[in-house]
Structure 1
């Protein structure tokens, strides 16, 4: 009949394997592009001469813009059916604005010159210095006649020798930092030679975030609705693995590449410009995949399961609310690692040769947790896994405060398997617990926004001023203490929180089918309706529906 023709036509047009391959390629390239630049961005700000407080302001503003603009842009692109145009425009504009950031002049011109002079050494000397730096540079005690400037704001610099040319940018940026700090002031000053650089950097980074923020949600929503239309939404999560692999390749490859290149002498540009150029090149390279990635618009679900409903679901469940608070605090603490870990590593003799592989190991450890999820779930409940993940992050922060050599941060990166992978696995389980059918992704986005944007934004503002006043060491120790204190309270609060009763409707349906043959009384026929009325009367938004 006429009803079969549209179904056959739709089945011929849908190729799930091709859609997943294109989505995996797109996620790999986009995550690789971001990882080439974003982890090293605050290091570039330090080279420009921005103080820690200024760096925290820039990064905090970036996260808050993403918090507001990302869901708004995603909703607008869906409402006007312009998803593909938004994706392509985001790739092109973000690549262009990122390159514009290179035009910001450093607060101290000597910082740029010193970084160029430092890279004029031969490759062999560079590798030799990286191998002997732990024994000859960072750990040497300061002699009495050493006139190297000492930070008045608490950032401890390693003692330097003639061979330690890698620390030249650190000294010059630290000199700029000292201009903005006085021993008799209780708060950091934001006026001075670096203020124009701050304003220009803040403006460019804000425009950049406005251009790049809509990309992830817009592409994910279109792809998920396409797979849902093809009855293959359960395979959507497989595309995330390619994103993590792309991030590992991007951050590790960029670190190794930059460590082996000399300064771009023709333009007197530091080697860190390679990060921006790699980001722009990979963003442009992702355009063909963006043009071919399948998207679908489901107008029936336009407003049915938004973030406001997710807020109501989380607020109605005490355990979900505790998970939300944990995600927020984890975001605050993680911002200290994201923004200032490379500063801490640089102060102890690390270069991009050490930073890139170290960050790549953390991403790979995060991606490896699904291999352990089955065994961990048998030993620990999701609530306990959430506590273990937060504890792991606290241990990492505490470890980072005691770095002593260029490669010293490497062992702690293995803990990212729990501080990243296990923690977000537990959050995902909580999303399934609290969400009603069709609202799982909205609840997941809510937790992501609380941690990655609101928490990281607030942590960036606070972390910058803590480093300005007390130093990098106390930033990591303070973050560790705060996370550990919450982890002590969290199990007790989880124990006190009421566990909501679950209704297994499939068992009820099976029971109803078996009883229907024995009796057809009115009381037996409306058992499901009564069960659902009892469910609604208890305001049980967070019960899990097992099908």
Structure 2
């Protein structure tokens, strides 16, 4: 009964939220189209094509898209099959419920430190941290000998899934153009869901043949190789130059002050010349 109520509520909430978002974004698109004296339908590109073009044009965004896909595939191994291992080891329903709820609680507890982490780990630092923490979690799950040991490992989810979600928002803000944020978020979310689906399908075959421990260790090794790949590729990508707006404003103000001083000097000189000419004319009696 509880599951049915939750499913019904989620369906209704998703429908209302999507309807409100569609109305708001449709109104904003209409305003943009009106302000630019350009027909709306002729200039509006499909959201998926626009998001794909943004990813193709940015190597760092492509790497992050691959990260999202692999995280979905590797994370599905733990979420789909680890509870079976806990049950086989004699875990109670209360402990498994705590394990499920500890991940979102850890992410919520770490949220006040979001700004400090983003400033301390700029660029891909936060992304690599989330990958390393997820790999450590998977390796620790493969070595579990007691069910209660899964709880402190699950507490690290704030740094794995939470940090990756913060990095997702930053990447969309850096890459997306005005009006394409929602399409890019949907595309990256679809990549994560596709990775989770393929990871669950492939993980089932590996689990059936080799066991859960090998599946988790293989996922950990795959994330480690991807971390090395990201480090190598990003080191060869051209660096982005950040614009220091304070320096630009200071330079513009200094240029304006210099030009004003030059104009004032020219005006004073011209006035002096004019007064000199008048005095000379009066002295010589020239009309």
Post-superposition offset of 1:455: 0.5
Q: What residue number does 1:244 align with? A: none
Q: What residue number does 2:150 align with? A: 409
Alpha-carbon separation, structure 2, partners of 1:361 and 1:394: 18
Whether 1:473 and 2:210 are equivalent positions in the alignment is: no
The correspondence for 1:368, drawn from 106, 109, 117, is 109
Alpha-carbon separation, structure 2, partners of 1:219 and 1:323: 31
SS at match of 2:194: helix
SS at match of 2:150: coil
The answer (yes or no) to whether the contact 1:385–1:422 under 8 Å persists in 2 is yes
Post-superposition offset of 1:33: 3.0
Larger radius of gyration: 2
SS at match of 2:177: coil
Alpha-carbon separation, structure 2, partners of 1:220 and 1:492: 41
The answer (yes or no) to whether the contact 1:362–1:417 under 8 Å persists in 2 is yes
User: How do residues 339-358 of structure 1 correspond to structure 2 at under 5 angstroms?
Assistant: 339-358=80-99
In the comparison of the two structures, how many residue pairs are matched?
245
The answer (yes or no) to whether the contact 1:398–1:477 under 8 Å persists in 2 is yes
Post-superposition offset of 1:508: 7.3
Q: What residue number does 1:464 align with? A: 204
User: How do residues 74-473 of structure 1 correspond to structure 2 at under 5 angstroms?
Assistant: 91=8, 216=14, 218-224=15-21, 300=30, 306-451=47-192, 453-473=193-213
Q: What residue number does 2:235 align with? A: 495
- The CA deviation string for residues 199-233 of structure 1, in whole angstroms up to 9 with x for no partner, is xxxxxxxxxxxxx5x964x544444467x68xxxx
Structure having the larger proportion of residues in helix: 2
Structure 2 vs 1, CA of residues 329 and 358 (structure 1 numbering), >3 Å: closer, same or farther?
Answer: same
Structure 2 vs 1, CA of residues 223 and 371 (structure 1 numbering), >3 Å: closer, same or farther?
Answer: farther
* Coordinate RMSD, CA, aligned: 3.3
The answer (yes or no) to whether the contact 2:29–2:179 under 8 Å persists in 1 is no
- The CA deviation string for residues 252-288 of structure 1, in whole angstroms up to 9 with x for no partner, is xxxxxxxxxxxxxxxxxxxxxxxxxxxxxxxxxxxxx
Alpha-carbon separation, structure 2, partners of 1:379 and 1:501: 19
The answer (yes or no) to whether the contact 1:336–1:463 under 8 Å persists in 2 is yes
Structure 2 vs 1, CA of residues 215 and 336 (structure 1 numbering), >3 Å: closer, same or farther?
Answer: farther
Structure 2 vs 1, CA of residues 381 and 299 (structure 1 numbering), >3 Å: closer, same or farther?
Answer: closer
Alpha-carbon separation, structure 1, partners of 2:207 and 2:242: 47
Alpha-carbon separation, structure 2, partners of 1:298 and 1:222: 14
Alpha-carbon separation, structure 2, partners of 1:468 and 1:305: 42
The answer (yes or no) to whether the contact 2:71–2:131 under 8 Å persists in 1 is yes
TM-score of the two chains, using structure 1 as the length reference: 0.40
Post-superposition offset of 1:378: 2.8
Alpha-carbon separation, structure 1, partners of 2:257 and 2:195: 53
Alpha-carbon separation, structure 2, partners of 1:342 and 1:336: 10
SS at match of 1:407: helix
- The CA deviation string for residues 58-101 of structure 1, in whole angstroms up to 9 with x for no partner, is xxxxxxxxxxxxxxxxxxxxxxxxxxxxxxxxx38x8xxxxxxx
